[in-house]
Amino acid sequence: MLVKKDCRKTYIFIIGIFLSSYFSVAQNLISAEVLFNRSKEQVASIINMDINNVNAVISYKIIYNTVDVNGNPTIASGALYLPQGLCDELPFVSYHHGTQFNKNSVPSNNQYYYEGLLFSGNGYITTMPDYLGMGENSGVHPYIHWESEATASLDLIRAAREFLTNSLSISDNNQLFLAGYSQGGHATMATHKYITVNDLKDEFNVVASAPLSAPLEISKTQIDFIFDDSPVYYTSQYIPYAAASYQFIYGNLYNNLNEYYDSPYDVTIGNYLSDGTFSNNQWNSEIPNNLYTFMQDSVVDNIKNKSNHPFRKAARENDVHNWVSNEPIRLLYCGGDTSVTPLNSIVAVNEMNALGSSDVVGIDLNSSGTHETCLIPTINYALNWFNSLTVFCEPLNQKKKDSELRKYIYPNPVDNILNINFCENCVVKIYDLNGRTILKSNSNSINVSNLTAGIYFVKALDLVSNQYSIHKILKQ
C-alpha cells in the first residue's frame, strides 16, 4: 500500500531546519588571536594625535561563520580593534576598507591598521571585515555585491560581541556607527540598508553612518561616468574586477573572458583573477586606461548605450541609494575624484531624501581633492561627527565602586528625581542610547519622570573644575 506523504509539512520542516542552522551557525565565533598591541605613544604617532587624547589599542584576528552569496554557510575573517584601559561598555564602529585586489592585503593581516587605530584610539570598539573571497575565505571576491558585504560585516560584529563578552567581559553600549571608503563606502551603505530592510535595528542600533567617496548608484551614475564620450578611465582595473564578480554571482555576462576583453588582456585578466595576490599597483599597470584598448569595442559600446545590458542589470541589483534611512547619514566626498564620481553622493542624497529619509546630507570636503587624497579628510570628519553623537563612558581607572557611584548619582534605578551631589555648579545632560540629548539642566535635582523606561547616560560637567563624568542610569 502506498503511503501519501504531506510534502508541504516536509518542506516547511526542512526550511525550518535550514533557518535555525543559519542563525545558529552564521553568528558564531570560531577563533580570535592577537595581532598586535600598540601603546598610547605608538597610536598617537601613527594617527598624528595628541598622546593625551588617545588610548592604547590591541587588535585581534577574528575567524567566524557567515554565509556566501547563495546563503550557504562559509568561513570568513576580519579584524577587531579594542581600546585599552577604558570601560566595560564602549561604542562600536564597523569600518569597511576600499578596493583591494590582493586577497591577503586585508585587515586580518594587519592591513588598514591606520583606520583601526584611528577609531579605537579614540575610544571605539572597531571591526573591519576582510569580505568574502579575501583573507581566510576562498574563491571569487564578490566585489561591489551589497548583500555579501553586509552579511560579512554583521556576522563579524556578532562574532566580535561573542568574543568580547565571553573572553574579556566587555560589551558595546548599543551604539553602532558605520563608515568606509570607496568600495567600503558602498559596503557601509549596504550594511545600513541591510539592517533597515531586514528590521535588525534591535540587534544593530545604528546611530549614524558615513559612506566615504562611495559608488552608490553604480548602474547609471557610475557606469555613465566610466563609459562616457571619452574612452579613458584612470582606474579601469575596476571594470574586470566588477565584471568577474557579477559573472560569478549572476552567471550571464560572458562564457569566456575573450568575449569581453581583447588579446592579450583576456589572458592577463584571467591569470590575475585566478591568482588573487597581485597588488592594486600591478593591476593598474597592466590594464590600460583606454577602454577600447583592452575591452572588445562592441562590449564598450553596448554597456555605454544599452540600459538593459547584463553588466548594468547586475549593477542595478547592487545600487544602494534607493531606500529610506531613519538615521543620519553623511555622504562625504571630494569634488576632484575621477575614480568614483561625486555625482554618486549627490544623486543618493536627492533620491533618499525624496523617498522620505530623515537626515541624509552630502558634503564636498575638498572641491579639488582626488580619490587618493580624500581618505584622510573624510575619515577624520566621520570620526569627529561620530564623537559628537556618541556618549563615552568614564575610564576604568577613574570609575568609582558601585557603592560610591550611588552616593554621587542617586537613586539608580530612578523613578522621578535624579540627584547629583558631587559638584555644586553643574551642567547636566541626559542622553539616550542614540546619543541624542533628552534633558539638560543646571540643577542638582532633575525630574526624569517623563522619560520612558530604559537606559540613559548622564553627563555632568563641573563648571568650577571643568571636569566631567559620565554615568549610566536605569529609568524605571
Cβ neighbours, 10 Å, residue 302: 16
Nearest one of 155, 199, 131, 194 to 30, comparing CA atoms:
155
**H or E segment and range at residue 181:** strand 171-181
pLDDT in tens, 2-36: 333 344 333 333 333 333 333 334 458 999 999 99
Per-position DSSP letters for 110-133, written without gaps between them: TTTHHHHHHHHHTT-EEEEE--TT
For residues 114 and 269, give the distance between their C-alpha atoms in angstroms, rounded to a whole number: 30
Of how many residues is the chain composed?
A: 476
Is the separation of the CB atoms in 362 and 399 below 8 Å?
Answer: no
Residues of the chain with pLDDT under 70: 1-27, 394-408, 422, 434, 465-469
For residues 448 and 127, give the distance between their C-alpha atoms in angstroms, rounded to a whole number: 35
Neighbouring C-alpha atoms within 13 Å toward the C-beta of 360:
23
* Exposed/middle/buried for residue 316 (C-beta within 10 Å: 0-12, 13-18, 19+): middle
pLDDT in tens, 353-366: 999 999 999 999 99
State the pLDDT at residue 9. Answer: 38
State the pLDDT at residue 137. Answer: 98
* All three cell numbers of 230: 571619452
State the pLDDT at residue 260. Answer: 98
Is the separation of the CB atoms in 206 and 195 below 8 Å?
Answer: yes
State the pLDDT at residue 261. Answer: 98
pLDDT in tens, 241-279: 999 999 999 999 999 999 999 999 999 999 999 999 999
Domains of the chain: 8-217+319-389 (3.40.50.1820), 218-316 (1.10.260), 400-475 (2.60.40)
Q: Distance between the two ends of the chain, CA-based, in angstroms? A: 65
For residues 413 and 410, give the distance between their C-alpha atoms in angstroms, rounded to a whole number: 8
Is the separation of the CB atoms in 392 and 452 below 8 Å?
Answer: no
What residues form DSSP beta bridges with 364? 333
Residues 6+ apart with CB under 8 A from 401: none
State the pLDDT at residue 87. Answer: 79
The DSSP code for 5 is -
Burial 166-180 (b: 16+ CB within 10 A, else e): eeeebebbbbbbbbb
Show the DSSP H helices in 295-401 as ranges. 297-305, 310-316, 343-355, 375-389
State the pLDDT at residue 3. Answer: 35
State the pLDDT at residue 408. Answer: 64
State the pLDDT at residue 399. Answer: 43
For residues 277 and 60, give the distance between their C-alpha atoms in angstroms, rounded to a whole number: 23
State the pLDDT at residue 388. Answer: 92
State the pLDDT at residue 151. Answer: 98
Is the separation of the CB atoms in 88 and 169 below 8 Å?
Answer: yes
State the pLDDT at residue 397. Answer: 42
Rounded-to-5 percentages of helix, strand, coil across the chain:
40, 25, 35
State the pLDDT at residue 21. Answer: 37
